[in-house]
Each structure stands twice: as C-alpha cells, then as structure tokens.
Amino acid sequence: MDTPIVPTKEELKNIRIESVGEMFYGMKVIKTGKTNSFAEMDSLKIYPDNTFYRFSTGEKGDVFDFVQMVSDCNFKIAANMLFEYYTNHRINIQNYTKDTLQHFQHSATNSILELPQKNEHNKNVFAYLTKTRGIKPKIVNHYIKYHTLYQDTKNNCVFVGYVDGVATCASIRSTYSNFKGEVSNSFSEVGIYSNFPENKNTTLVICEGMIDVMSYQSLLDDDYKNMDYLSTQGVSKGRNAIFYRMKKEEAFKQYKKMIICYDNDPVNPTLGYSVGRKHAEELKEWITQEFPGIEVTTQFPQFKDYNEDLLHKINQNYHKKVDL
C-alpha cells in the first residue's frame, strides 16, 4: 500500500494564491502583466513569488495570510484548508472535453483510497446524527445499510462515495468536535451519489455535503425517496462532480430537473458576496449551458444550511408540544 503524501509547510506555501482564490472563493483571476489580481479585489496584487499586497487595506503576505484574510480565520484553520487543497486532487478545469472525462476516470479508478478502519458498532455515529443533528433514524439507517456511512475506530462518521462499486471518495466528520476532512487519496471531484433506482426519479438534489443531504431528506420526511441526491463535497467541485456523473452514470440521463441546495452563507465582508449563493448561481448557469433540456433551480435554506433549518423545525415542534 502506498504511503499517503504529507505535504511540508513549504509545499503548502507554494500553492498559488490565484488557484486558491478560484477554487475556495470562486474569484476571477485578472492578469495584469507581471502581477495578477482578482475581479473581486482589484486593489490586491499577486506577485510572481506568490505573495500579495492589498493596497486598499495594507494587508499583505503569503498564501496562508491570504486564506486567513478572506476566510477571517486563524493560521491553523488556513493550514488545514490548504492541506485539503493539496491532498484532494483538486482540478481547475475551464473546458470539459473527452480528455477531461478520461482524466477523471483514470483518477477515480486508480486513486488508492484506504478507508479508516471500521468500528464494531455505529452507536456514536447514530447518536450524533439523530440527537445532535436531528436527522431521522430511518435515513441514518439507510446510509449505514448501503455502506455510504459507518463509524471508524475513532468514533468519527465516515461518508463514502462509489464509482462502479469501488470506494473512491470519502470524508470524515467527528462526532465530538468540529473536525472534518477528506480521507487521504480521496478523489472528491466525483462527489457522493445516492439514488433510489427502483423509483426512476427524474429530479436530482445537489448539496454541499452529506449532512446537508440527510438534513434535506429529513425535512421532506416520507417524500425523500422521490428524488436522488449528489453531495459535491464542497462548493468548488460542483461542476466536476456533475460533469463526471452525467457522462459516466446511466441514471443521470433520466434527470429532467436539478435543484441546487447550497448553503445560505452570510455575505463575506472581504468578498462582498455569499460564497454558497454565488457558487450555486454559477453552477446553475453552467449546467443550463452544458446540458440544455434540464430544468435547473436554486433552493436556499432559511438559515445558514439545511441542518440549521431542520434543528429549528424540531425546536419549534417541541415548543408547540410543551405549550399544549
């Protein structure tokens, strides 16, 4: 088994600021001679040595400083974000061609994905998802039954995506902290797809992550099996996941409608827009152009994400019962 690649701080520091701006925040790179900028930050200049200076505020630094500035986070969080970028085979593609599909297929089938060791039970995962997250037990049991969800020996939730029956994409969510991340060598570009083939559904719901998917399903209650679902594993990989699945999965040819349910993020004060909403609208426009004939809509939660909506609904119902 290959040893997972662990990047050094210097390797993370060499990740181009332009790529991070595009992939993390949906920014558009503007080339201006020897320096680059972003359409969303025209006073910011990126230099050949991969440093930046923002003339409107005086902020400057390397790619770590850039992520901390835009995401308003500390160094540790910025480093984790760049580590995820480095290890997740991120692909920045503008034009989708036959070669793109072949590249995806090669990466998806040749990535050596070593899943975390399974625990003997799923008690912590079940309790976390049903009690802390409010997800309906039957939905949690469904994903456990079909091996899309399990508990590892560290009591984390492990969500698994498959291509041709082979585990290709996997993410981890702690049941006792805010930790989350991708499994080493996970090819997250293909996303995690869950469908109900016996129903021959014609609608696909697209979410950022699997807890978003399960929360959306819980809000639908018994109607959740009338649609199929795709977790794009973040907002920046939506195009890649849709492109690959549309070209590879026979079931995707039956979809007549797609609903993009990304997060209702607050407006980022640095960027001046909501990251979730911006990516959702751009993905909607791209699907409409790339796959004409499919009706594409956006549907945003009332609160930040669909899990917050679900918990709010549960809390409201609880208070109604108490009032009675």
Taking residues 261-277, what's their average pLDDT?
87
Going by C-alpha positions, the residue among 280, 299, 240 that lies closest to residue 89 is 240
More confident residue, 49 or 283: 283
Helix (H, G, I), strand (E, B) or coil at 155: coil
CATH 3.40.50.10800 corresponds to the domain 9-87: no
| pLDDT higher than threshold 70 for residue 319 | no
Which CATH number among 2.40.50.140, 3.40.470.10, 3.40.50.720, 3.40.1360.10 corresponds to the domain 98-323?
A: 3.40.1360.10
Residue 264: pLDDT band with limits 50, 70, 90: very high
- Look up residue 118 and give its DSSP letter: B
| pLDDT higher than threshold 60 for residue 262 | yes
Residue 165 is predicted with a pLDDT of 84
Residue 103 is predicted with a pLDDT of 54
| pLDDT higher than threshold 50 for residue 91 | no
The span from the CA of 40 to the CA of 30, in Å, is 10
Q: Where are the domains of the chain?
A: 9-87, 98-323
Q: Model confidence over 234-255: pLDDT tens digits?
A: 887 888 889 888 887 888 889 9
Which residue shows structure tokens 């992550």? Answer: 209
The span from the first CA to the last CA of the chain, in angstroms, equals 60
Residue 94 is predicted with a pLDDT of 39
Taking residues 29-45, what's their average pLDDT?
85
Calculate the average pLDDT of the chain: 85
- 98-323 and 9-87 share a CATH fold: no
Q: Model confidence over 129-179: pLDDT tens digits?
A: 999 999 999 999 999 999 999 999 999 999 999 988 888 889 999 999 888
Q: What is the pTM of this model?
A: 0.72
Distances (CA, A) of 197 to 100, 200, 207: 27, 5, 19
| pLDDT higher than threshold 60 for residue 320 | no
The span from the CA of 7 to the CA of 42, in Å, is 31
